[in-house]
Structure 1
Amino acid sequence: MIQVGASFELKTKVTEQNTALAVGSGDVPVFATPMMMALMEGAAAQCLAQFLEEGKTSVGGNISSSHVSATPVGMEVRAIATITEVDGKKVKFAIEAYDEAGLIGKGDHLRIIVTRDRFLQGAADKLQK
């Protein structure tokens, strides 16, 4: 049973490769917003994975986040995802990201539980059209 309140944390180091300049989301060498959101989404996916039956996975349905503080190359960033609501196959999360100086972003994320094989087949079927 999926537990509301369960959380998971992921960490990464800011490098030249995950800056806004490197990924094309800006022209400054600080942690990129898309990379922050990917870290948050990854934390949510791993949080939910521990509760899923074999053959099931989850996919992102929606993500909304602020990015309120820049993080320079060399600092560590951690993302925390906490389950806030479960409605059938829909699981909602509160997501937050911090660097060594404090909060850098927060928001909400929705994940949908799917059958892995069926989901992948639906994606592959697009190639047949």
Structure 2
Amino acid sequence: MEIIIGTRYKQEWIVTEEMLAKNVKSGDVSVFATPMMIALIESTASACLQQFLEPGIISVGSAVSVSHTAATPLGMKVYAEAEIIAVEGRRIDFRVSAFDEKEKIGEGTHSRVYLNKDKFEQKAQSKLPERA
């Protein structure tokens, strides 16, 4: 499997009520929430990487370092761009940016690790107590 540095991907959302800071408990205002901007960035990076992965292999986020520099109101379009900037073993690093219809609203870096979906989910489920 060859993951190509420089590959880019873009994804667009429209800010809904469920994405507002006051509704995700990240503030008391009616603007696009920082956790939702991070979710958009992660979703975009995941989609960028998925095209290179074999069936049964997924990626999970492992690090996020972003700034959220401008507010976006309900109903406005937002989009994120992700670019693969490094591949080190199973870790893929991205340069990420987020925008609304008027300006850049955030930027930073994001890392993902690819792995076997079934093994990952089994390991997570093994944390639960056994049921009688």
Q: Write the distance in 2 (CA, Å) between the matches of 1:17 and 1:85.
A: 33
> Partner of 1:126: helix, strand, or coil?
coil
Q: Which deviations, in whole Å up to 9, do the C-alpha atoms of 1:7-61 show, x marking residues without a partner?
A: 1111111122211011110000000000000000000000000000111110010
Tell me the percent identity: 47
Q: Which residue of 1 aligns with 2:99?
A: 98
2:26 aligned with 1:9: no
Q: Which position in structure 2 is the counterpart of 1:70?
A: 71
Q: Which amino acid aligns with 1:2?
A: I
Per the alignment, residue 128 of structure 2 pairs with 127
For residue 128 of structure 1, report the CA deviation from its aligned partner. 3.3
In 2, Cα distance between equivalents of 1:19 and 1:54: 35
Q: Which AA in structure 1 matches 2:33? A: A
Structure 2: runs of 5+ lacking an equivalent: none
Q: C-alpha separation between the residues in 2 aligned to 1:21 and 1:91? A: 33
Aligned-partner residue type, residue 118 of structure 1? K
1:113 matched residue in structure 2: 114
* Separation (CA, whole Å) in 2 of partners of 1:118 and 1:74: 39
What is the distance in 2 between the residues matched to 1:15 and 1:75?
9
Deviation at residue 102 of structure 1 after TM alignment? 1.2
Instruction: Give, in angstroms, the shift of residue 4 of structure 1.
Output: 0.5
**Per-residue deviation, residues 43-91 of structure 1 (Å, max 9, x unmatched):** 0000000000111110010001100000011210001111000011000
Aligned length: 129
Look up the match of 1:27.
28
CA distance in 1, matches of 2:57, 2:16: 33
Q: Taking structure 1 as the reference length, what is the TM-score of the superposition? A: 0.97
The separation in 2 between residues aligned to 1:2 and 1:128, in whole angstroms, is: 38
TM-score normalized by the length of structure 2: 0.95
Q: CA RMSD in A?
A: 0.9
Other-structure match for 1:55: 56
Mind listing any 5+ residue stretches in structure 1 that lack a counterpart? none
